[in-house]
Amino acid sequence: MSQDAPPIAPNLFNTFLGAILNNDIATAQALLEKYPNVITNTNTSRQTALHIAAQNGHVAGCKWLIENYETIENYDIIDSHDASDNSALHLAAIYGHVAVCELLIQSGADINAEDDDRDRPLHLAAMHGHVAVCQLLIQSDAPVDEVGLSERTALHLAAMYGHVAVCQLLIKSGTKINAYDEDGVRALHFAAEHGNVDICVLLIENGAELNARENNRNTALHSAILAGHLDVCESLTRYGANLSDLGSNRTTALHLAAKGMRDRNIAVCEWLIHNGAAVNALDQNGNTALHAASQNWNP
């Protein structure tokens, strides 16, 4: 973490920032010459002008700032972190600004810097579906299987948020398709839970373990059933997912579908019954699916 730069008046910082974003280099240069600290000063979120220019995709502004800052003691403008521990590269990755990311990397930005959730730029680009940024980071030697928040990889996040192209890139780049987070959840579980059927198929066809269990003993099929994603349920069973597998507390698939609190869970219940689900099966507490439904539905 770089140390804070000496403060200046907020209105002066805003004037300097406005000049950068509006390509008014003459004003920015004049301010920098009179107030050298303005280039490393921050707003209330501890963001420098470089953070904000990177977030806005302002390549020319970022380039000028990088070329013109002078190191103040141990302050490093390129890898300085804001109040959420985001570097300029984190912010450019979040917003998908490829050219800014490329400039920052060429200028020595740390591609493995962590924010306050332990997420790296690749995690954030994957989460937001920016495949070109992901590709740039991977080509710049960002490791694909480093873990961030809750021990999740970039593939976990891309699968959760439904970004097929990012998943394809990560798989092609050699990511561990069966990596699991701190709760034993794999990318396939996340894709199933969030209804991302195309990603489920992609993961299965590239070696995802279909019936792998989370720490709570739920499979990807259980996740899809509980969330009420009928299309995912149908797809997983076509690939061989086992409808008779029990979840935690010996709950059946029908227990889980009945427990779901969404209207779409009704269609999953109907589908399960049509496929032979035992309506009166008991879990380890002696409850049927009807008990599960009555405990969770509050019209």
The pLDDT tens digits for 130-146 are 999 999 999 999 999 99
CA 170 – CA 134 distance, rounded (Å):
8
> Which of 286, 204, 201, 218 lies closest to 256 in space, CA to CA?
218
**Contact, 161 vs 129, CB < 8 A?**
yes
Least confident window among 45-54, 203-212, 222-231, 239-248 = 239-248
- Give the per-residue pLDDT at 61: 96
Global confidence as pTM? 0.91
Question: H-type helices in 79-153, by residue range?
Answer: 88-94, 98-106, 121-127, 131-139
- Give the per-residue pLDDT at 1: 39
Residue 123 confidence (pLDDT) above 70: yes
- Give the per-residue pLDDT at 260: 81
Least confident window among 33-37, 60-64, 112-116 = 33-37
**Contact, 97 vs 128, CB < 8 A?**
no
Torsion of CA 291, 293, 295, 297, to 10 degrees: -160
143's tokens: 């490791």
- Give the per-residue pLDDT at 100: 98
| Averaged pLDDT, 79-97 | 97
CA 16 – CA 9 distance, rounded (Å):
11
CA 249 – CA 229 distance, rounded (Å):
22
Local confidence band at 169 (pLDDT 50, 70, 90 cut-offs): very high
Other residues' Cβ atoms within 10 Å of the Cβ of residue 2? 18
Domain boundaries, the chain: 1-143, 179-299
CATH match of 1-143 with 1.10.238.10 = no
Q: Which amino acid is residue 148, in one-letter code?
A: G
> Which of 67, 139, 60, 140 lies closest to 100 in space, CA to CA?
60
CA 288 – CA 205 distance, rounded (Å):
35
Q: Look at the alpha carbons of 195, 202, 159, 252 in this order and tell me if their dihedral is positive or negative.
A: positive
> How far apart, in Å, are the Cα atoms of 8 and each of 11, 15, 42, 151, 225?
9, 12, 9, 39, 56
Torsion of CA 26, 27, 29, 33, to 10 degrees: 130
> Which of 189, 283, 280 lies closest to 232 in space, CA to CA?
189
186, β-bridge pairs: 180
Q: DSSP character for 216? A: T
CA 257 – CA 278 distance, rounded (Å):
13
**Contact, 289 vs 268, CB < 8 A?**
no
CA 20 – CA 16 distance, rounded (Å):
6
- Give the per-residue pLDDT at 8: 58
> Which of 42, 58, 59, 50 lies closest to 4 in space, CA to CA?
42
CATH match of 179-299 with 1.10.10.10 = no
Identify the helix (H) or strand (E) that includes residue 280.
none
pLDDT digits (tens, 9 = 90+) for 207-241: 999 999 999 999 999 999 999 999 999 999 999 99
Instruction: Note whether 1-143 and 179-299 share their fold.
Output: yes
pLDDT digits (tens, 9 = 90+) for 61-82: 999 999 998 655 567 899 999 9
157's tokens: 């996040």
